[in-house]
A = this chain, B = another copy of it.
Amino acid sequence: MPDSEYRDVRSLDLFAPLAEETFTSLMRGAYVQNFPAQIELIHEGDPSDFLHIVISGSVDLFSSWNGRDTSLSTVRPNSTFILAATIKDAPYLMSARTLEKSRIALIPSRDVRATFDVDGGFARAIVTELAQSYRSVVKAQKDLKLRTSLERLANYLLGQQRHAGGGAVFELEFEKRRLASVLGMTPENLSRAFRGLQPYGVIVTGTRVTIDSQPDLERFAAPDPLIDDPST
């Protein structure tokens, strides 16, 4: 693993508490691999052999049932995924595929569990990470159960806007068909939802979004920190 990537991984909150020696030994069994876009890295139901870390690119976590499928979340650089499965030594609940060319580090789950068993600091770091993940999913659950698709889209746009710096104009970060799936609707419905937000000053052309009337949109969206604020 190149030195710069080693440092990237080392700098993750998850590994911060590890002694240099412990970290090095954990990394000994690890390897890094490049994947092209649209490669299925893991398939739900498979045993969780590796903890994955996205070094560059991005990964889609999704799930299928009975011919349908849905995107559950996106993993971006310098985050891990499927930590819970690794810890519990249980099968993956979600599949993962690269959205673009990506570089992924793989650490044998066995090693992660072994380190976790002996290193209290590591265990505490994992707790923090898991608590964060748990709260994210709970928020997604609330979003889905308490809001219509139009409301979800409105709040998503506000979140994206903030993420992009708060200006009136910003870009959608991914394909609309995937955005639709993330928001729990069909692509057709998303198209109509964008039109449905026009009365609140939302203009979409291609991947570019303009929010003409911030107050109108916010009044309609009624964002709630306990659903929409990623940090709390």
Q: Which residues of A contact B (CB under 8 A)?
A: 44-45, 63-66, 68-70, 72, 83-85, 87-88, 90-91, 93-94, 116-117, 119-121, 123-124, 126-128, 130-135, 137-142, 144-147, 184, 222, 224-227, 232
- The residue of chain B having its C-beta at the shortest distance from the C-beta of A224 within the complex is B65
A137 CA to B120 CA in the complex, in Å? 26
Contact of A139 among B93, B134, B138 (CB under 8 A): B93
A104 CA to B165 CA in the complex, in Å? 45
Q: In the complex, are the beta carbons of B116 and A119 less than 8 A apart? A: no
With A120-B120, A146-B68 as contacts: A84 and B135 at CB distance below 8 Å: yes
Inter-chain contacts of A144 with B (CB < 8 A): 141, 144-145, 184
Nearest first, the 5 closest Cβ-Cβ pairs linking A and B are A120-B120, A123-B123, A84-B131, A65-B146, A130-B130
Q: In the complex, are the beta carbons of B142 and A72 less than 8 A apart? A: yes
Q: In the complex, are the beta carbons of A93 and B123 less than 8 A apart? A: no
Q: In the complex, are the beta carbons of A88 and B132 less than 8 A apart? A: yes
A17 CA to B126 CA in the complex, in Å? 17
A132 CA to B87 CA in the complex, in Å? 10
